[in-house]
């Protein structure tokens, strides 16, 4: 299917990259007619089958830009991206639906490639797929494992809805991930920008990070997760969080592991309305011992009066400035390290 034509002496694209996007905007267009799934390449050649995964994988094998029109596509094996420069684009986030079925462990699997973009899709794990999106670019050329996820709705995975590993540059824009173990699990990565996203309804963390460097969160909502809203864990450093809303999480709004190297910078973060579970509510912010935390303009509030501490910090020489801590059981702050300062803190 979608074979690249043999280059001939008279071909104006002779010697060019084997990429249909040189001829038309898309290398292949995928669409449905009744029960048939059809992929048509830029030269008008088609493959028609009832198996959506087989058809889409055939298009992906050729690389380039794959456009998927609105419809429900049942995916019973992984969609494997094994070529660099692939773009998968749906017609609309709500109506271009890739739905996992038995046999699918990762709806989209990105494996050791450079420059991948996924946008405008709805990915339904159906409690069958382990991940809606899984990416590991460990063996891509150094610094070239780059992934962009844009305007995606992904949910109902067995484990992590989106898991990203060993990626040099990650961009996530307007992604809504929910209902899995962790909504987003990102490990061993550098240089990630996570903007305008929602991570909700996970059994454990909304966001889990590990051994990452330079992660930027801006305008992110994390809500209704069973344990932490966001867990900044082992060996992370250079984590920046601005303009975030963290609500209704079961344990801590923000948890920072003692091994985190920092710095952790937080600005204009609102942690509010913990769950009514009572005994499960611990702290707005729990810092196990990181000594490079700077936070300004935090609002930590609990109208259920279940929260133990607003800020529970075991690190040294951290700074909390211009914060509000409203509603707690034991105390607004519990600072057990050395030299941590709290300036302009409003409590109730």
Going from N- to C-terminal start, the domains of the chain cover 24-347
First-last CA distance in the chain: 67
Average pLDDT, the chain: 88
Q: From the CA atom positions of the chain, what is the Rg in Å? A: 23
Question: What per-residue confidence (pLDDT) applies to 281?
Answer: 60
Q: 231: closest CA among 275, 199, 192, 191?
A: 199
Superfamily of domain 24-347: Single-stranded right-handed beta-helix, Pectin lyase-like (2.160.20.10)
User: 211 burial class (0-12, 13-18, 19+ CB within 10 angstroms)?
Assistant: middle
pLDDT for res 54: 94
Between the alpha carbon of residue 260 and those of residues 5, 78, 88, 167, 257, the distances in Å are 52, 35, 35, 19, 6
In eight-state DSSP terms, residue 348 is -
* pLDDT of 275 above 70: no
Q: Which tokens go with 236? A: 């992370």
What lies within 8 Å, CB to CB, of 346 at 6+ separation is 323, 324, 325, 326
Residue 61 has pLDDT above 60, yes or no: yes
Q: How confident is the model at residue 217 (pLDDT cuts 50, 70, 90)?
A: very high
pLDDT score recorded for residue 106:
98
pLDDT band at 19; cut points 50, 70, 90: very low
The average pLDDT across 109-134 equals 96
User: In this predicted structure, which of 45-54, 213-222, 276-285 has the lowest mean pLDDT?
Assistant: 276-285
pLDDT digits (tens, 9 = 90+) for 222-250: 999 999 999 999 889 999 999 999 998 88
Q: What pLDDT digit, counting tens, does each position of 136-149 carry?
A: 987 776 667 899 99
Q: Is the pLDDT of residue 97 over 50?
A: yes
Query: pLDDT > 90: what percent of the chain?
Result: 73
Per-residue pLDDT, 299: 95
Does 4 score more than 60 pLDDT? no
Find the mean pLDDT for residues 102-125.
95
How high is the pLDDT of residue 328? 80
pTM of the full structure: 0.89
For 41, residues 6+ apart whose C-beta sits below 8 A from its C-beta are 1, 2, 20, 27, 28, 59, 62
Predicted local distance difference test score (pLDDT) of residue 274: 58
Hey, what's the torsion of the CAs at 208, 210, 216, 222, to 10 degrees? 10
Distance CA 277, CA 279 (A): 6
pLDDT at 17 over 70: no
Which of 171-175, 233-237, 298-302 shows the highest mean pLDDT? 171-175
Q: What is the mean pLDDT of residues 92-116?
A: 95
């Amino acid at each position: 299917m979608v074979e690249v034509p043999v280059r001939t002496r008279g071909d104006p694209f002779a010697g060019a990259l084997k990429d249909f996007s040189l001829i038309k905007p898309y290398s292949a267009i995928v669409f449905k007619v009744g029960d048939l799934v059809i992929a048509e390449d830029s030269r008008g050649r088609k493959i028609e089958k009832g198996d959506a995964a087989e058809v889409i994988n055939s298009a992906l094998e050729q690389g380039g830009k794959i456009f998927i029109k609105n419809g429900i596509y049942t995916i019973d094996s992984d969609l494997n991206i094994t070529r660099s420069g692939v773009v998968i684009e749906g017609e609309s986030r709500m109506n271009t639906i890739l739905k996992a079925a038995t046999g699918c462990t990762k709806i989209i699997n990105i494996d050791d490639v450079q420059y991948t973009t996924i946008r405008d899709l709805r990915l339904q794990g159906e409690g069958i797929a382990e991940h809606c999106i899984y990416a590991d670019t460990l063996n891509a050329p150094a610094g070239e494992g780059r992934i962009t996820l844009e305007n995606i709705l992904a949910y109902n995975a067995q484990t992590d809805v989106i898991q990203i590993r060993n990626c040099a540059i990650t961009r996530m824009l307007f992604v809504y991930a929910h209902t899995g173990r962790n909504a987003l699990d990102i490990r061993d990565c550098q240089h990630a920008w996570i903007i305008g996203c929602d991570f909700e309804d996970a059994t454990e963390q909304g966001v889990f990070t590990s051994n990452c460097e330079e992660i930027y969160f801006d305008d992110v909502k994390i809500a209704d997760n069973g344990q932490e809203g966001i867990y900044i864990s082992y060996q992370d450093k250079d984590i920046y969080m601005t303009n975030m809303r963290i609500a209704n999480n079961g344990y801590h709004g923000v948890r920072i592991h003692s091994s985190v190297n920092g710095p952790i910078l937080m600005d204009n973060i609102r942690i509010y309305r913990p769950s009514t579970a009572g005994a499960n509510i611990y702290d707005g912010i729990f810092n196990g011992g990181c000594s490079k935390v700077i936070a300004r303009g935090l609002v930590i509030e609990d109208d259920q009066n279940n929260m133990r501490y607003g800020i529970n910090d075991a690190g040294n020489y951290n700074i909390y400035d211009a914060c509000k801590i409203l509603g707690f059981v034991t105390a607004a702050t519990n600072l057990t390290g050395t030299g941590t300062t709290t300036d302009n803190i409003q409590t109730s």
